[in-house]
Structure 1
Amino acid sequence: MNTSRQVHERTRMFARVLGPFLVIVDVAAVLRVPDMRTLMSDFSANSAWPWMSGAFILIAGLVVVALHQHWHGPAAIIVSALGWLIVARAIFLLFFPDAFMSLADNMIGQTAWMIVACGVAAVIGVYLTYVGWAPEHHQPGAHATDVTRDVTPAA
C-alpha cells in the first residue's frame, strides 16, 4: 500500500470515529439546551471533574495529533485541526479550568449562538461520517499491480 493510500485510510478511520461523535454530541447538546446550565454548574462544582476530563481528553487529542498530521484535502485538514483543538481544550481544562468554565458558561448563555455552533459542528460530523463510512469507488484496473499471487507454477 503506498503512502498516499495509507494517509487516505488513516483519515477515513479517524473520520469514522470523529464524525459520529460530533453528530451525536452536538445533537444531544441542542436537544438538552435547557439542562446545559445545570450540567455545567454540576461539572464545575467539583474541581476533580475538569481535571479528570482534561486528562482523558488530552490523551484522545494526542492520539489524533500523533497519528494524523496530514493537511491535504478537506477531510484530512478537519481531522488534523480537530486533533489540535481537542489538545487545546484539554490543556485549558487542566491548567485554566475557571477560564474554561467561564467561557463555556458564556456560550451556554448565548443559546442562539450555541445552537448555531453545535449545528456547524454536527454538519462537519455528518461530512466526516460520510467520508469515513461511504463505500469507496475504485477503478477496475487500479489494484492489478497491487495484487501478489500465491500461485504455484505449473510443472
Structure 2
Amino acid sequence: MSTATVEAQERTRAFARVIGPYVATFTTFYAFRLPDLLGLLDDLLAQPVLVWLLGALMLGAGLVIIGAHRNWRGPLAVTVSLFGWFVAVRGFLLVVTPDTIRSAAVSTVLSPTGLTLARVFFGVLAVIGLLLTYAGWFTGGRSAGEAAAKGSSLPST
C-alpha cells in the first residue's frame, strides 16, 4: 500500500489540529453535564429555524471536511475523514428528522443505562479528540520543504 503524499499528510494534520481540541473540549463537557443539557436541547429544538440552521451548518461543515480531506491512509486520516462523514450525517438528520433526534436524546438521558453508555461514549470521544490534538500539533516535525530537500517523505499519518 502506498503512503499518502506530503501534502495529504499536512492537510490531515491541519484538520486534526482543529478537530482534536474541538472534540476533546465538547465531548468532555457532554460527558459531565449530559443531564443538564436536556433543557438546552429542549430550548433549541423548540425553535425550528435554529434547528434548521444548525443542521445546515453541520451538513456544510461535514461536506467541507469530506471534500477537502480525501485521504484515507493511516489511522489519523481515517479518523478525520470519518469525523467529516459523522458531522455531515448528523446535520442531514437534524434537518430531516429533528423530532427523532430529540426523542433519542431524551430517552438516552432519562434512562440510567443510556446515560452511563452515553457518558462512556463521550469519554471515548474525548480521548480520541486528545489523540487528534496530539497528532495534529506534535507529530510530523519536518516541513514539506525539508522533506523534499532530503528526498524522503513524512511518516504516514
Tell me the TM-score normalized by structure 2: 0.83
Is the CA contact (8 Å cut-off) linking 1:58 and 1:86 kept in structure 2?
yes
Identify which of 121, 124, 134 aligns with 2:125.
Answer: 121
Per-residue CA deviations over 1:41-87 (Å, capped at 9, x if unaligned) read 11111112210100111111111000012111000000001101111
Q: CA RMSD in A?
A: 2.0
Distance 1:40 1:13 in 2: 31
* Paired letter, 1:20: P
Q: 1:45 aligns to what?
A: 46
1:130 maps to 2:134: yes
Q: Aligned residue pairs: how many?
A: 143
Distance 1:43 1:112 in 2: 24
Change (3 A) 1:38 1:79: same
Is the CA contact (8 Å cut-off) linking 1:50 and 1:97 kept in structure 2?
yes
* Paired letter, 2:45: S
Shift of 1:144: 3.0
Distance 2:85 2:92 in 1: 11
- Structure 1 unaligned segments of length 5 or more: list them: 147-155
Is the CA contact (8 Å cut-off) linking 1:36 and 1:108 kept in structure 2?
no
Q: Output aligned runs, 1:10-29, within 5 Å.
A: 10-29=11-30
Higher helix proportion: 2
Is the CA contact (8 Å cut-off) linking 2:19 and 2:132 kept in structure 1?
yes
Q: Output aligned runs, 1:44-63, within 5 Å.
A: 44-63=45-64
Distance 1:34 1:85 in 2: 23
Tell me the TM-score normalized by structure 1: 0.84
Distance 2:103 2:83 in 1: 22
Q: Which has the higher Rg, Structure 1 or Structure 2?
A: 1
Is the CA contact (8 Å cut-off) linking 1:62 and 1:87 kept in structure 2?
yes
Distance 1:79 1:107 in 2: 26
Q: Output aligned runs, 1:59-98, within 5 Å.
A: 59-98=60-99
Shift of 1:135: 4.3
